[in-house]
């Protein structure tokens, strides 16, 4: 396993983008820790859109878009430059000093980096010692980044490694954005797609996820197109409704379904005991989609659990009336799993059964299982090296 720590330089150093991280400690010992909190007067640049930075400069320094634009552009394109080397700040050393004192861009440390089959997993250590994971998936002409929204997850899905951790804490908007910032700006990957499919339930941390999306899509910064962002949910209906109310039809919504009936889904996913599949479908039927967009349904195939021919027929009936593309994913075993992964023959058989029912389905091959970077494998117990 290769260590990869990104040192702070230039603008990053002046804005205090790193601190001295504590070594990883017991999760339970620091869940409620008040360490490493910053005063309300100190603002993290990673949680601001350009317009919000302009407002801040106007309110705090009486300056307009000239200086804030220079800082925002410099931070996201030339982080190695010194703040006072930017023309907008060269003639204003006092302003540069004030900005360096008032703003920070604290981001997680890349504690570990490991790769397999072209997939790279980054382990980020947060300022309180907790860790989250991000997966980089290179494609032919672009890169997809799978990011986390929580440390752990409260949903408790039985097939998911992260669900075994419980919810330790929410990630801030800055901690969410920093995952993409590190991959795109500091590591130099040509990031096009961002998927909220890492650790955590994004709609259980909705306010921070929404702000992160605003920052990610800002054309003056990371410039990730909204249509290239996918938010995945286990079926948190309140969150789906809130997301629908944002009027972002280009944003892609993925639903982790994983069952064709309530009995099986409730056994696998406790969220279904609160909102059954009928309620989920009713909510999805009113979700706004841009022309040509579809809802993404994720179906993790588990041998002997949700892979029977009757399940294929039930699933087809359930999906009727929804503009859906179904992604069929073979189960990736987690630590001490009670479940068995399907064989390729099992996947092919279920795939063909869905096609016979006229379901728009695509089998998805997970990569990175050997480094615990595949679907459902992210989490502390899957990486004993931590």
Confirm whether 153 is a catalytic residue. Answer: no
C-alpha separations of 297 from 144, 194, 250 in Å? 18, 17, 17
CA proximity to 336, closest of 114, 168, 199, 158: 158
DSSP string, 356-378: HTT--EEEE----GGGT-STT--
Q: How many CA atoms lie less than 13 Å away from 31 in the CB half-sphere?
A: 10
Please give the Cα distance from 378 to 148 (Å, whole number): 9
Alpha helices (H) in the chain, listed in sequence order: 10-14, 27-30, 50-61, 65-77, 87-90, 93-102, 173-181, 206-216, 237-245, 262-268, 271-274, 277-285, 309-319, 344-356
Please give the Cα distance from 41 to 19 (Å, whole number): 18
CB atoms near residue 10 (< 10 Å): 18
- Cβ within 8 Å of residue 363, ≥6 positions away: 327, 328, 329, 347, 348, 351
Select which of 17, 105, 375, 382 is catalytic: 375
Q: What are phi and psi of 86, to 5 degrees?
A: -70, 130
Contacts 24+ apart (CB under 8 A), 24-33: 24/111, 24/125, 24/129, 24/130, 24/131, 24/386, 25/129, 27/130, 27/151, 27/152, 27/165, 27/168, 27/380, 30/128, 30/129, 30/130, 31/168, 31/169, 33/128
Contact 378, 199 (CB under 8 A): yes
Q: Which helix (H) or strand (E) holds 112?
A: strand 109-116
CA proximity to 382, closest of 256, 203, 199, 248: 199
Active site members: 375
């Amino acid at each position: 396993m290769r260590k990869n720590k990104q040192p702070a330089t230039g603008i990053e150093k002046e804005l205090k983008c790193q601190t001295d991280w504590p070594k990883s400690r017991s999760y339970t010992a620091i869940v409620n820790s008040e360490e490493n909190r910053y005063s309300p007067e100190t603002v993290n640049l990673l949680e601001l859109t350009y317009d919000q930075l302009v407002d801040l400069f106007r309110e705090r320094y009486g300056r307009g878009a000239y200086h804030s634009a220079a800082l925002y552009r410099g931070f996201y394109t030339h982080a190695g430059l010194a703040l006072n080397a930017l023309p907008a700040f060269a003639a204003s050393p006092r302003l540069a000093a004030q900005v360096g004192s008032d703003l920070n861009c604290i981001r997680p440390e890349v504690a570990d980096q490991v790769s397999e089959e072209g997939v790279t997993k980054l382990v980020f250590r947060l300022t309180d010692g907790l860790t989250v994971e991000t997966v980089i998936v290179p494609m032919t002409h672009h890169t997809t980044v799978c990011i986390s929204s929580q440390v752990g997850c409260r949903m408790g899905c039985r097939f998911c490694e992260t669900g075994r951790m419980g919810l330790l804490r929410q990630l801030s908007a800055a901690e969410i954005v920093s995952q993409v910032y590190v991959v795109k700006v500091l590591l130099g990957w040509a990031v096009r797609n961002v998927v909220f499919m890492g650790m955590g339930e994004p709609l259980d941390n909705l306010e921070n996820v929404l702000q992160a999306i605003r920052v990610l899509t800002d054309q003056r910064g990371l410039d990730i197109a909204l249509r290239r962002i996918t938010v995945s949910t286990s079926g948190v209906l309140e969150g789906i409704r809130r997301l629908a109310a944002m009027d972002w039809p280009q944003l892609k919504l993925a639903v982790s379904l994983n069952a064709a009936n309530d009995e099986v889904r409730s056994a696998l996913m406790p969220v279904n005991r609160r909102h059954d599949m009928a309620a989920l479908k009713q909510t999805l039927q009113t979700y706004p989609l841009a022309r040509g967009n579809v809802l993404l349904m994720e179906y993790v195939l588990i041998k002997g659990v949700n892979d029977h021919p009757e399940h294929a027929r039930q699933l087809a009936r359930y999906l009727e009336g929804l503009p859906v593309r179904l992604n069929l994913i073979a189960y990736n075993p987690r630590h001490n799993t009670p479940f068995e992964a399907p064989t390729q023959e099992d996947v092919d058989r279920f795939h063909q059964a869905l096609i016979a029912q006229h379901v728009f389905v695509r089998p998805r091959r997970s990569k990175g299982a050997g480094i615990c970077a595949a679907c459902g494998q992210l989490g502390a117990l899957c990486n004993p090296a931590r």
